[in-house]
């Protein structure tokens, strides 16, 4: 990891019990398991909203709505390290090339590419596959990334004709738990 990489504050939606275990050290940071869903927006990793504690809490309330789960948000200091930053044109160029290679590979096997689907395309099966495949291709060339970062326009427009969405956010997927320097309660 680049020791001079930028630091960001991220927020993770979770249960109170999980947050407590991390905060008290009964669950060490390196034991934090990454999400492995086929629809993870930025590929597999530990997901955070950059500088958005309310958004993480809202997500936790939606995800952990069952009685007794006690949703909460957990803050984290994240050193991005070597970041596959989708706000960088050179990175999106690499991703586009990787998509083309993946599409050719799947076509040769007569397998279709998955699609992003669901309300507001929240199930990002295509994006997840393309990012994971791209990072795997880079890994074979001994190029490793610690985090993935992307911006998303989501939700209704702020006003008619706006270029801004009510739920726009920057999300980070941490692929190397060593990038999580510490956690805190966002109060």
Report pLDDT for 64. Answer: 94
Half-sphere exposure of residue 105: CA atoms within 13 angstroms, side-chain side: 11
Report pLDDT for 44. Answer: 97
Report pLDDT for 68. Answer: 87
Which has the closest alpha carbon to 169: 154, 184, 186, 182?
Answer: 154
What is the pTM (predicted TM-score) of this model?
0.92
Domain positions in the chain: 7-36+44-82+174-184, 85-172
Q: Could you read off the pLDDT tens digit of each residue along the chain, which spans 187 residues?
A: 555 579 999 999 999 999 999 999 999 999 999 999 999 999 999 999 999 999 999 999 999 988 889 999 999 999 999 999 999 999 999 999 999 999 999 999 999 999 998 776 778 999 999 999 999 999 999 999 999 999 998 888 999 999 899 989 999 999 999 999 999 999 7
């Amino acid at each position: 990891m680049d020791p001079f990489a930028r630091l960001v504050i991220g927020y993770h939606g979770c249960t109170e019990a999980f947050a407590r275990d991390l905060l008290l050290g009964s669950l060490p940071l390196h034991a934090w398991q990454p999400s492995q869903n086929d629809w993870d927006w930025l590929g597999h990793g530990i997901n955070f909203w950059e500088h958005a504690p309310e958004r993480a809490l809202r997500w936790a309330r939606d995800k952990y709505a069952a009685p007794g789960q006690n949703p909460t948000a957990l803050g984290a200091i994240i050193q991005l390290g070597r970041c596959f930053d989708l706000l960088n044109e050179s990175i999106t160029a690499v991703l586009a090339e990787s998509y083309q290679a993946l599409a050719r590979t799947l076509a040769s096997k007569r397998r279709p590419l998955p699609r992003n689907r669901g309300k507001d395309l929240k199930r990002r099966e295509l994006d997840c596959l393309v990012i994971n495949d791209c990072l795997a291709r880079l890994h074979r060339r001994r190029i490793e990334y610690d985090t993935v970062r992307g911006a998303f326009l989501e939700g209704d427009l702020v006003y008619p004709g706006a270029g801004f969405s009510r739920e726009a956010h920057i999300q980070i997927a941490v692929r190397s738990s060593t990038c999580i320097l510490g956690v805190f309660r966002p109060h």
